[in-house]
Amino acid sequence: MEIRRVYSHLNGHEYLLVHQPDLWAEIEAAIAAVDADSVRLKVSREKTKAGNLLFDPRRLNQLFKKEFNQRGWQESRVSYLVGETEGAIRQTILLRSRAEQQARLDQLGEASFSTYNQIDFIKDGVAIEVQLGKYFAVQYDLHVKHTFFFGRGDINVGIEIVPTHTLMRQMSSGVAWFENELANIIREGRSNPAVPLVLIGIEP
């Protein structure tokens, strides 16, 4: 797999090149090691692609997981509590431990609801999401996942890896693609999302 497009939001790419160049080189190596052709196995039943061999996103994800895990990147999952009202949420959202959150909600006399945020890979203050699924998932990654881990101080940069338009056309319909997600980011304005990001477009 190759990196064909890179977009830097709030100097995310520049931050890596200056402060963590070895980590950026590691990301490039992990992507380059993914043999996409080995998982071009899905026979399409879609009307416009019937009979074509498409890239299997589930198996492609497994290849990315293998390459990043071998380089010390691991999934991160953080569970936390939310209350019933805006006021309670505002008082607990910056508390890091569930015990602190529960104590504050008890003090406020509010019920607590358990939830969590998860990121595919994290290492040395950098988070990576490999998004080969439906288009709406990228916006959730950018505005919820990366923002959540950045707000906690767990990361300095978030990275979103998506197919280019060229690769998207060789996958099932509804998959997110780089050029469209880039347009979405630009449309939202320079400071939104409020976290340094690198959008990476990949293709075989």
Q: Give the model confidence (pLDDT) of 168-187 as tens digits.
A: 988 876 789 999 999 999 99
Domain of 32, in residue numbers:
2-76+119-203
Report if residue 32 sits inside a domain.
Answer: yes
Residue 189's Cβ-count burial label (10 Å; 0-12, 13-18, 19+) is exposed
pLDDT of residue 130: 97
**Mean pLDDT lowest among 52-61, 122-131, 145-154:** 52-61
pLDDT tens-digit profile of 144-159?
A: 999 999 999 999 999 9
Report if residue 134 sits inside a domain.
Answer: yes
How many other C-beta atoms can be found within 10 angstroms of the C-beta atom of residue 197? 24
Three-class HEC string of the chain = CEEEEEEEECCHHHHHHHHCHHHHHHHHHHHHCCCHHHHCCEECCCCCCCCCEECCHHHHHHHHHHHHHHCCCEEEEEEEEECCCHHHHHHHCCCCCHHHHHHHHHHHCCCCEEEEEEEEEEECCEEEEECCCECHHHHHHHHHHHHHHHHCCCCCEEEEEEECHHHHCCCCCCECCHHHHHHHHHHHCCCCCCCCEEEEEEEC
Residue type at 91?
A: Q
CATH number of the domain residue 29 falls in:
3.40.91.20
Q: pTM score, two decimals?
A: 0.91
Report if residue 145 sits inside a domain.
Answer: yes
pLDDT tens-digit profile of 9-51?
A: 999 999 999 999 999 999 999 999 999 989 887 666 666 666 6
Question: What's the total number of domains in the chain?
Answer: 1
Residue type at 54?
A: L
Report if residue 104 sits inside a domain.
Answer: no
Q: Cα 12 to the chain's mean position, in Å?
A: 14
Report if residue 9 sits inside a domain.
Answer: yes
Report if residue 85 sits inside a domain.
Answer: no
Calpha distance 33→96 (Å, rounded): 36
Report if residue 164 sits inside a domain.
Answer: yes
Report if residue 100 sits inside a domain.
Answer: no
Contact 197, 160 (CB under 8 A): yes
